[in-house]
Structure 1
Amino acid sequence: MSMRFGIMASHQWPFDEDLRRHVDELVELVQLAEQLGYDSTWVINHFVSNLATPQPISMAAKLIENTERITVGTGILLLPFFHPVHIAEEFATLDQFSGGRVVLGVAAGYREHEFEAFGIDIDERFKRLDEGIRIIRALWSGERVSFDGEIWSFTDQRIGVPPLSPGGPPIWVGAGGRHAVRRAARLGDAWYAPGNAPSPRYLAKHTAIYDEALAEYGRRAAERPLGVELYCAPTTAQAIEEALPHARREYHTYAEYPALAWQRDRFDELVANTLLLGSPEDLIERIRGYRALGFDHLIFRPFWLGMPMAQARASIRLFAEEVMPVLRAEAG
């Protein structure tokens, strides 16, 4: 089983900071990651956020334009807020522009105020996700499509830009709970698993649920991606000292949303069970545990609010030089 590595292009910053400077620095970080041999980079999606958050299609296009080899994906696009015909057209266009190195990662969303801003019933989000994925896949066939659903209906339509990749880019589905993980098995090419659940038993339990659902639906996963938080330094003590204050600030900012309020009270659990802050040797051991569960594409956020970009560059360089070769060699 091969091992791939990617970085989250975490494009969200305080409103009073220079957005254009931050974006330029982020592009340079992604270019460095490509030079260092990383396989992928992932853009994020939120609306009416408490941080300045450029939108994912624009960010993906910018990263495609400024890279040559690396896969550019959404991690994650909140599909219920978009019309699926729009997304089918946009990502077919990105697939063409990138030479076939795009992944559409989608999820249902969870922040209540986003649904309120769009005038969408939050209870419809899974239905919108389900119908949206099925419509996008059908349109990426290049054929004329008719669809009669509970949310969307249309007759005899064909998208104006066909994807470069046969059948369109891969679709990854982000999911947390049992039913959502089963949905990812039914609809997605991969389950984009969250690595920041506070319970150390979460991943093993939900990987088993995913595998059972794949068998039930007669499907197989194209990849096994896992999203984590990671910082690499010469010693674990140095990694914690340099990264922990910034990670705490970011998680406490997330905790302003009711659905994530628990992260403030349980931050110490997150640190112990999910934040990968360590030396190359410690990170190798922890990632081996994820690989033993079947995960083969590790994607990590390389910095948090307020962290100097020089530290993020040093971290991804050290990880690329001392961690990635060991894990890739072991994976064969």
Structure 2
Amino acid sequence: MKFGIMAPHQYPFEDDLRTRLRELTGLVEHAADLGYHSVWTINHFLSNLATPQPISMMARLIECSGEMRIGSGILLLPLFHPVHVAEEFATLDQLSGGRVSLGVAAGYREHEFQALGVDMDGRFRRLDEGVRLIKALWSGETLDFEGEFTTLKGARCGVPPLQKGGPPIYIGAGGKKAVRRAARLGDGWYAPGNSPNPRYLAEHTAVYDAALAEYGRTPVDRPIGVELYCAPTTERAVAEALPHARREYYSYAEYPALSWQRDRFDELVRHTLLLGSPELLIERIREYEALGFDHLIFRPMWLGMPVEDARRSLELFAREVMPAFA
């Protein structure tokens, strides 16, 4: 089992971004020293939280992330031109020494599509075509490409990626049809671990496994994104983390597609927020391991949490939980 962190670069607008970003780079450097495997960045536009953009964030994190892999978790691919993404991520791959991963998804916030003039109804077709075009460009070959949204004649990627064939592409997907798409197109399914339905992961993992067998594909690894905080006792973990997690989830619930999170927050806490002692977290992570997941990615802090608390959580988790999965 590998362990990574989601860089928590979403902040209230009244915060001093320079201070928060210095705290974040220090946290990532600390995670690298502790042996964490990966760090992932967030993508939203015109958000209700100040959200620095992921490609710039990845470039900044290269120098402070040691040997960690650096990924987008998740880039809203339909809102970008795939040629732009292919060359930006190839550049990041060169700058990082081949440590980059590309995570993409279709998006769900209607106002983002409206603001950028992209038809939201076509987002899944754009995602499909974009992934295929990026992979074709990363082959290094001169190509002709005839798609619904992009046409290229005699084109070659202007920046060769360092990794052969380009960085691995993970596809974030929630519904069963989207999970099948992840199996068909991606090098991995970036699974969401925040469904309040306790049967979700088992059911959708079965769909993914069946699709992999159908398409004859083997993923690079099997990541899952969760919320996690570690303290000496579960009671202390809940007391220190829950108010901040609630504040963050309630901010997401301002968007219509996630309004349910406010009403069902207690279910999220029971089924998906891993707030606990090392012993409890080992037990819960074993459940993900049994489903086949081998790369646990977690947000280490939420809105308003002191960075010192996040550092202590990462330290305790690295010392007492990670060795159980070595």
TM range (shorter): over 0.9
Distance in 1 (CA, whole Å) between partners of 2:108 and 2:64 is 31
Cα deviation for residue 147 of structure 1 reads 0.9
Residue 137 of structure 1 corresponds to 135
Superposition TM-score, scaled by structure 1 size: 0.98
Equivalent pairs, count: 326
Residue 149 of structure 2 corresponds to 151
Cα deviation for residue 68 of structure 1 reads 2.4
SS in 2 for 1:191: strand
SS in 1 for 2:9: coil
Residue 62 of structure 2 corresponds to 64
CA contact (8 A) 2:77 2:104 kept: yes
Residue 117 of structure 1 corresponds to 115
Q: Does 1:246 align with 2:244?
A: yes
Distance in 1 (CA, whole Å) between partners of 2:143 and 2:27 is 41
Distance in 2 (CA, whole Å) between partners of 1:311 and 1:303 is 8
Q: Which runs of 5+ in 2 are unaligned?
A: none
Q: Does 1:86 align with 2:84?
A: yes
Which residues of 2 match residues 194-233 of structure 1 at below 5 A? 194-233=192-231
Distance in 1 (CA, whole Å) between partners of 2:65 and 2:9 is 17
CA contact (8 A) 2:227 2:299 kept: yes
Superposition TM-score, scaled by structure 2 size: 0.99
1:168-202 per-residue CA deviation (whole Å, 9 max, x = no partner) reads 00000000001100000000000000000010100
Residue 74 of structure 1 corresponds to 72
CA contact (8 A) 2:5 2:299 kept: yes
SS in 2 for 1:14: coil
Residue 314 of structure 2 corresponds to 316
More moved, 115-124 vs 271-280 = 115-124
Cα deviation for residue 65 of structure 1 reads 2.2
1:253-296 per-residue CA deviation (whole Å, 9 max, x = no partner) reads 00000000000000000000000000000000000000000000
SS in 2 for 1:305: coil
Distance in 2 (CA, whole Å) between partners of 1:166 and 1:222 is 14
Residue 50 of structure 1 corresponds to 48
What percentage of aligned pairs have identical amino acids? Answer: 71
SS in 2 for 1:304: coil
SS in 1 for 2:225: strand
Distance in 1 (CA, whole Å) between partners of 2:65 and 2:42 is 18
SS in 2 for 1:147: strand
Letter aligned with residue 62 of structure 1: R
Cα deviation for residue 152 of structure 1 reads 1.1
SS in 2 for 1:105: strand
Q: Does 1:237 align with 2:262?
A: no
Letter aligned with residue 177 of structure 1: G
Q: Does 1:299 align with 2:297?
A: yes
Which residues of 2 match residues 183-198 of structure 1 at below 5 A? 183-198=181-196
Residue 279 of structure 2 corresponds to 281
CA contact (8 A) 2:33 2:66 kept: no
Which residues of 2 match residues 171-182 of structure 1 at below 5 A? 171-182=169-180
Letter aligned with residue 8 of structure 2: S
Residue in structure 1 matching 2:34, options 33, 36, 47: 36
SS in 2 for 1:229: strand
Residue 6 of structure 2 corresponds to 8
CA-based RMSD of the aligned residues comes to 0.6
CA contact (8 A) 2:113 2:120 kept: yes
Q: Which runs of 5+ in 1 are unaligned?
A: none
